[in-house]
Structure 1
Amino acid sequence: MESDYVIVGGGVVGLSVAWGLLSRGKSVTVIDGDDGSFRASRGNFGLVWVQSKGLNQPRYAQWSQQSAAIWNSFADDIHGNTGHRVALEQKGGYSFHFSEQDLYETVEQYNRLKSQLGGNYPFEILGHNELKKEEPEIGPSVAGAILHHQDGHVNPLKLLKALAQGVRNQGGHIVNGRKVQSVTHDTSFRLRCDDGSVIEGSKVVLCAGLGAAELGPQLGFKAPVRPQRGQVIITEKLPKFMNRPSLIARQVDEGGIQIGATNEEVGYQDNVTGGGIAEIAEQAVKTYPILSRAQIVRTWGALRVLSPDGLPIYQKSKTMPGAFLVTCHSGITLSAAHAKILPDWLEGASDAPDLEVFNEDRF
């Protein structure tokens, strides 16, 4: 049976796109890899994050803001469809700084971006004493923080589970444990998988993360994505003491503290190293000294999906009309936009978002 769309990639990006297309009445088949695939959706930090994005490309800041603004509505849709809550909390987030000079330089960058965005970049500067009122457990080494009011976080594993259920509830098909090996196109797309099966669709959206590097050229894409390892720590469940998330640590809805993350250019190695874990643990304790007494219950390494400039890629194939590439390293932040806005771009609607700055011609 031929679907209107075949989505290659069953992570948060692919499932969010599938959700949005199904909600518009399209038939969708999602092809997901096996457990040996690199899966950023199962190893990320769970942030819905605006600040610091788009410092060199304001359109990226706007796109992140659009998604953050509709995240609450998207979470309500997920709950209404599946009964699952994804633990969304959007009360702002911190960028911590350990020197006045570093804080000042970052504020200068934010002010420039705020001016480019017409003033729509709501943040405030908290000195150490002001920050202490918001976060009583903050350490003396923290000089201050930038509190950005559009930031927040979710439980990414609950989100992934809910998206998969929601796709199925809306009539979508998810085919697990298969890898697409080749694609041909005449009147429709035919995707041959490693088990010999063939899946057909009128259109194809490549959302395979790092897998796009291999499959992309068959569909006419450069797909210049690369891996970057991030290592993460999870502590035991603790009483609530952290009010807002940061890039250093966040308290998840179950009570544990998620600490992260390294930024390592090590190819496709997703293992954990003693040095990496020690580095992020030291920074977390410097920020929140109370964490020196916390027990570590698990650690992991996962691979981010990065383009050469770190921005998303949204590309329509020039050689295979009906094929699209969608890839980014901010799949959680952009999940709402991918579900509620991006389908208009895929469908060529008159009110589709302008995503030209994110195409591959910039490389």
Structure 2
Amino acid sequence: MTNKQTATPYDADVAIIGGGLVGLAIAVGLIKKNLNVVIFDEGDQAFRASRGNFGLVWVQGKGDTCVEYARLSRLSAELWPGLADELSAVTGIDVQLEQDGGFFFCFSEEELEQRIEMLKSMRDAQDGDYPFEVLRQDELKKRLPDIGPDVTGATFGPLDGHVNPLLMLRALTEYFIKRGGKFVNNGTVKEITPEATGFSVVSEGQTYRYGKVVLAAGLGNKALAPLLGLEAPVEPNRGQVLVAERVEPFLQYPTSHVRQTREGTIQCGDSKEDVGFDEGTTTEVMAQIAKRAVTLFPKLAQAQLVRAWGALRIMTPDGYPVYEQSQQYPGAYVVTCHSGVTLAAAHAGPIANWIAGEGFNLDFSMEVFSAKRFSV
């Protein structure tokens, strides 16, 4: 099934700059509305954050200082089963979504009490509708028998989950293609020019014209946004990930530091480093990640590590997304976030609706996510 061909003077209705999880999810949402959509994908020279993430669909604790972001994260988690089902129906790919809840671990009573107070304040900000549980060591041991004795306790979020991010990337790509979407591969974009109507995009010496342009290029948005009267004050933040061999299933829930995939492998991470655009790994950080994983689950001391990688998060100064349409050049949008997995269902839903001109249809204004907040 292909998307409906609309009468237009443009090469397509919408150009999306960036073929990662963010750009693809928006493209899926737009193409469902019978819009002609083209994605410019930079190719293997891109930083490829979508291939290096942890795969969490995470709600608890997100938006502790921004209630709108907390609501958006929760909405996206609620929409995720529908997205997963639709991707499977169209592509035959199971993205391995599981949403049975997730644990955030604390290693001292002080740390646990601080987290409890933070989650309570989030619950108060949402009129009491923000579910979570607190489990100290004895209670935690009943839920996770293999937990280590040095873990003071944990908070449990029943809305949390995880997916296989590589299968997710593949499913979004195949869905987009099957519905008639087009890629400009190795399409590095350096010129975008607003015209009387629409926009021209120059990539690899070729010029194309589109009715709307969506900047979803991750770290590349910083240089592209000013071309369209927008801002994307993003900087890289490196996370390193370790993967251990397949072991007998013992961890049915994703956690803040360790998760077991459906295939049985163990994924460990959650490091945060300001090292510029260095995607590498370091022995020091990998050792810290491994030590923490063994502290959480001592049985992992016997597991063999099989690979490691570093990937760059896309971070704004406050950690929250930027969603904004250009006031100077209407029809140009910037979409920037570091939670491309969690927010994918929102990007394919209400964010795509907003870009399509149907409004945001939520109980808060998009203004809260404007980059103007950084210059106030």
Short-chain TM bin: over 0.9
Number of residue equivalences: 362
Which residue number corresponds to residue 60 of structure 1? 69
CA distance in 1, matches of 2:159, 2:209: 40
The AA in structure 1 aligned to 2:239 is: G
In the alignment, structure 1 residue 247 sits paired with structure 2 residue 244: no
| Runs (5+) with no aligned partner, structure 2 | 1-9
1:132 is displaced (CA, Å) by: 1.1
Q: Which region of structure 1 is more displaced relative to structure 2, 263-272 or 339-348?
A: 339-348
Conserved 8 A contact 1:248-1:284: yes
In the alignment, structure 1 residue 327 sits paired with structure 2 residue 356: no
1:347 is displaced (CA, Å) by: 2.5
CA distance in 1, matches of 2:21, 2:191: 23
Q: 1:149 aligns with which of 158, 161, 177?
A: 158
The AA in structure 2 aligned to 1:264 is: E
In the alignment, structure 1 residue 92 sits paired with structure 2 residue 95: no
Conserved 8 A contact 1:342-1:352: no
Conserved 8 A contact 2:360-2:366: no
1:321 is displaced (CA, Å) by: 1.4
CA distance in 1, matches of 2:105, 2:323: 32
The AA in structure 2 aligned to 1:357 is: V
Identity in percent: 46
Q: 1:359 aligns with which of 370, 373, 376?
A: 370
Conserved 8 A contact 1:7-1:18: yes
Conserved 8 A contact 1:99-1:143: yes
Matches within 5 A, 1:152-191: 152-186=161-195, 187-191=197-201
Q: Secondary structure at the match of 2:60?
A: coil
Matches within 5 A, 1:329-348: 329-348=338-357
1:350 is displaced (CA, Å) by: 4.7
The AA in structure 2 aligned to 1:166 is: Y
Matches within 5 A, 1:1-363: 2-186=11-195, 187-193=197-203, 195-350=204-359, 352-353=361-362, 354-363=365-374
Conserved 8 A contact 1:92-1:244: yes
1:73 is displaced (CA, Å) by: 0.9
The Cα offsets for residues 175-215 of structure 1, whole Å up to 9 and x where unpaired, read as: 2112001011212211101x212222100000000010111
1:252 is displaced (CA, Å) by: 1.0
CA distance in 1, matches of 2:326, 2:265: 43
Q: Secondary structure at the match of 1:35?
A: coil
1:352 is displaced (CA, Å) by: 2.9
The AA in structure 1 aligned to 2:368 is: V
CA distance in 2, matches of 1:119, 1:344: 29
CA distance in 2, matches of 1:281, 1:221: 41
Conserved 8 A contact 2:194-2:228: no
1:342 is displaced (CA, Å) by: 1.0
Dislocated runs of 4+, deviation >6 Å: none
Q: Secondary structure at the match of 1:341?
A: helix
Q: Secondary structure at the match of 1:162?
A: helix
Conserved 8 A contact 2:351-2:360: no
